[in-house]
Amino acid sequence: MTKVACIGECMIELKQADAGLFSRGYGGDTLNTSVYLARLGVAVDYITALGDDPMSDEMLVGWATEGIGTNRVARLKGKLPGIYMIQTDAFGDRRFFHWRENAAARSLMDLPETDDILQSLATYDVIYLSAITLSIYSPQGRTKLIGALGSARKHGARIVFDTNYRARGWPDPDVARAVFGEAFAVSDIVLASPEDLLPLYPDESDEQLMARIPCNEVVLKLLSPGSIVRFEGASREVRPEPIKQPVVDTTAAGDSFSAAYIAARLAGAEPVEAAHAGHRLGGVVVCYPGAIIPRSAMPPDILPGTGSTRKASQ
């Protein structure tokens, strides 16, 4: 069975409820992708660090309930997960506020078990991470992780990098540009967007942004609905079906796109078909508040030609 590892951070999520209150859940870009991958039938492990507190326990139970493997989750005594709060406007556009400076996940590359975790990456078929993943580690930690990705790739793993860029997570743009270059160099698939890349490469066209990414398979999710897919030197524009319900929260739109894209590719879909799958799932996710939609809201026809959300790994 094809197996995916997702590396990153999960935080406590506070999202707006009625009467000025907030409801509590959990989320984080790579964790969100893990959940949607599991719901699409992909065998996936989440690699991170958590504390030894009740909220970390709750996260692990929730992930296991979703079918996500947790054997590679480090537990740190006296540490806690980070927190983020989502604020949305009348159009569903969101702002995030974070409290994560001392979160357990930031220590993942500096633990006694770090080497074992990194060596285990070579046992996976696909490894997924984001720019946010790389931003939470020290420079030495990033070097360790990127080196391990290169080693895993030599053993046959495919590396998928999502350019999810948040400026506040980086000391300055020059550091981010250098790390992006290193990540591009070890990636087989890059999932990008002008929203992520233009702050680092101002005033460049979509074509110029894509030209910066050397790997064979690139998806650029556009600012207007749609994407450009480049595969084996040829580019195609993909336009999604219109969203028929009101957009209430764009949180995890990109994360769910990534999950459906990866799941579709693992199921044998061509890149353009996979991008359509990503747009289909993202178009459902934005109609619900928070990062993770109810299981009952998962549409049955995300993956091309399956008519089911549970066939990607069969």
**Rounded Cα–Cα distance for residues 58 and 36 (Å):** 19
Catalytic residue numbers, as ranges = 255
Listed range (32-46, 87-101, 204-218, 268-282) with the worst mean pLDDT: 87-101
Cα distances (angstroms) measured from residue 188 to each of 54, 199, 222, 271, 277: 38, 23, 20, 13, 19
Query: With a threshold of 0.85, does the pTM exceed it?
Result: yes
What is the DSSP secondary structure assignment for residue 291, as one 8-state letter?
Answer: S
Is pLDDT above 70 for 100? yes
Is-contact 311 1, C-beta < 8 A? no
For 86, the enclosing helix (H) or strand (E) is strand 83-88
pLDDT at residue 237, rounded to an integer: 97
pLDDT at residue 311, rounded to an integer: 40
Sheet with 3-7: strands ordered across: 73-76, 43-51, 3-7, 126-130, 158-162, 189-192, 217-221, 227-231, 234-238
pLDDT at residue 92, rounded to an integer: 63
pLDDT at residue 16, rounded to an integer: 75
Q: What is the mean predicted confidence (pLDDT) over 61-75?
A: 97
Q: What is the mean predicted confidence (pLDDT) over 239-251?
A: 90
Tokens at residue 72, please?
């590679």
Which distant-in-sequence residues (6+ apart) come within 8 Å of 182 by Cβ?
A: 142, 146
Q: Which CATH superfamily is domain 3-297 in?
A: Ribokinase (3.40.1190.20)
Beta-carbon-side half-sphere exposure of residue 165 (alpha carbons within 13 Å): 23
Which of 252, 7, 275, 303 minimizes the C-alpha distance to 145? 7
Q: What is the mean predicted confidence (pLDDT) over 145-165?
A: 98
pLDDT at residue 103, rounded to an integer: 95
Grade residue 306 by pLDDT with cuts at 50, 70 and 90. Answer: low
Is pLDDT above 80 for 79? yes
Is pLDDT above 50 for 314? no
Which of 72, 55, 14, 6 minimizes the C-alpha distance to 33? 6
Is-contact 240 281, C-beta < 8 A? no
Exposed / middle / buried, residue 188 (Cβ in 10 Å: 0-12, 13-18, 19+):
middle
For 221, the enclosing helix (H) or strand (E) is strand 217-221
Tokens at residue 116, please?
């074992």
**Rounded Cα–Cα distance for residues 171 and 211 (Å):** 25
Burial letters 23-49, b for 16+ CB under 10 A, else e: eebbbbbbbbbbbbbbbbbbbbbbbbb
In angstroms, how far is the first alpha carbon of the chain from the final one? 7
Percentage above 90 pLDDT, the chain: 81
What is the DSSP secondary structure assignment for residue 264, as one 8-state letter?
Answer: H
Is pLDDT above 80 for 17? no
pLDDT at residue 219, rounded to an integer: 98
Q: Which residue has the higher pLDDT, 100 or 196?
A: 196
pLDDT at residue 297, rounded to an integer: 95
Residue ranges of the domains in the chain? Answer: 3-297
Grade residue 232 by pLDDT with cuts at 50, 70 and 90. Answer: very high
**SS3 at position 26:** strand
Grade residue 22 by pLDDT with cuts at 50, 70 and 90. Answer: confident
Give the pLDDT confidence of 198-225 residue by residue, as tens digits. 999 999 999 999 999 999 999 999 999 9
Q: Which residue has the higher pLDDT, 251 or 267?
A: 267
The mean of the pLDDT values for the chain is 93
